[in-house]
Amino acid sequence: MRLWVHEVRLLLRARLTVVVLALLVALTIAALAAGVAEVSRQRAAIAAIPAAQAEDIAAVAAYVDRSKDAGSAAYYSFHPTWDSPAPLAFAAIGMRDVSPYILRVRALGLEAQIYDGDTFNPELALPGRFDFAFVLVFLAPLFVIALFHDMVSGEREAGRWRMLAALPRGGTALTRRRTLLRLALLWLALALPFAVVAAWSGVLLGSILAVTLVIAAYLLFWIGIAALVGRLRWSSVANAATLAAGWLVLVLVVPTLAHVAINRAVPVAQGAEIALAQREQVNHAWDIPREETMRRFYAHHPRWADSPPLGAAFHYKWYLAFHQVGDESVAASVAAYRDGLERRDALARALGWALPSVGVQALLTGLAETDLRAQLAYQDRIRAFHRRLREFYYAYLFHDRPFGADDFRLAPSYEDVTRPKGMAARFVTPAAMLDRRPLAPPSS
């Protein structure tokens, strides 16, 4: 025990060590604070949804109640969907920084609504938001290098190594003690602030333990690299330069090249192309006989085939029908797009077994439910809700039932299809997201 106490005293007498540990603690706390602030901002946006939605629907209901037209209700009503952040999202913002977590949809064609402003999957992209995952993956290795590059070479250059190696419990035992001590201090600088914030955020104990184990494993990987370089018996400066070059290659260069290689190996069209193709199909419906559109619609939705035939006047059931036909026309493209993203994600995860920096990012975003899988699951929930929404309005449109202000309360709620999360936020869109356009009839 005295040896350990002595080693702690020696370590803390070194100004560089104290500065390094203090800086790591400060960066960790700052990253956690930034992550908590971002998640709080997202939860606040989601919590603002009910009031804003009620105001928006009240305005639409007042307009629709005069005509009792279900088509107008379907056309003008926006329905919010949201993806509440998981309790651990503060640690790894992941795709929540680049993909929508709130989306307002109408009963019209869905694919164009989902893929408007589509952002490419950044699974292996270069550093993004400053959060705990960023500090661990990109910055923690630099602190390992600062504390370990001269652990043995520094003693050798000072002329003390032979004497230390000759002492009882010196040599290898001394190196082991110093390694474990530095590892423990680095781990505490990262894990202790994280555990405190995670417990305060309601993260389950199992997830907290999993992240702390990931921290330890990642630090051990870089300590192992430092030990291998140290065995080459180079100078401390050479060790530091070699380790810094290794950090640059393993954390930045190789993941970036792998990102490019994966993108080329698995080509994926942009989601905006799907939105464009869907819109072209929708616009084409204005140029063909309406009966052709209805035949295509009834072929896939025979439940509504007993609806009265179209007359000469405009009818919203035809309008919603050709939007649905437009969605179905790009179904193969949507499936191919999703398959491509999932294949890229699988390759990135496989790469994580060889590149710990990529693997740790994947683990953290997976635990935080901020990865590609979580984003695709959100889209699945949107589609399930949109299906119920369409069928709700179809029941009025295809049977020519009047739709009044009271009927808005019968519309399906997105809450009915959301999956439970550890700390679900209260719900939905910020007022800035509401469409305040003057009411006007639909056009191409």
Nearest to 218 by CA among 363, 53, 348, 346: 363
Distance, in Å, from the CA atom of 18 to the CA atom of 31, rounded to the nearest integer, reads 20
Q: Are strands 79-82 and 102-105 parallel, antiparallel or unpaired?
A: antiparallel
The per-residue pLDDT for range 49-101, each reduced to its tens digit, is: 999 999 999 999 999 999 999 999 999 999 999 999 999 999 999 999 888 99
Q: Are the C-beta atoms of residues 46 and 82 closer than 8 Å to each other? A: yes
Nearest to 281 by CA among 119, 108, 441: 108
Nearest to 70 by CA among 379, 407, 327, 345: 407
Distance, in Å, from the CA atom of 171 to the CA atom of 175, rounded to the nearest integer, reads 6
Distance, in Å, from the CA atom of 307 to the CA atom of 295, rounded to the nearest integer, reads 12
> What is the percentage of the chain residues whose pLDDT exceeds 90?
72
**pTM here?**
0.86
Residue 195, amino acid? A
Q: Which two tokens stand for residue 209?
A: 């333990």
The stretch 210-223 carries a mean pLDDT of 97
The per-residue pLDDT for range 381-438, each reduced to its tens digit, is: 999 999 999 999 999 999 999 999 999 999 999 985 655 444 333 333 323 323 333 3
Strand positions, DSSP E, 307-417: none
Distance, in Å, from the CA atom of 246 to the CA atom of 223, rounded to the nearest integer, reads 12
Tell me the CA end-to-end span of the chain in Å, nearest whole number. 80
Q: Are the C-beta atoms of residues 384 and 418 closer than 8 Å to each other? A: no
- State residue 90's pLDDT score: 96
Q: Which two tokens stand for residue 237?
A: 């400066």
The stretch 275-296 carries a mean pLDDT of 93
List, in order, residues 6 or more apart from 97 with CB less than 8 Å away: 38, 128, 129
The per-residue pLDDT for range 167-205, each reduced to its tens digit, is: 565 557 778 888 898 899 999 999 999 999 999 999 999
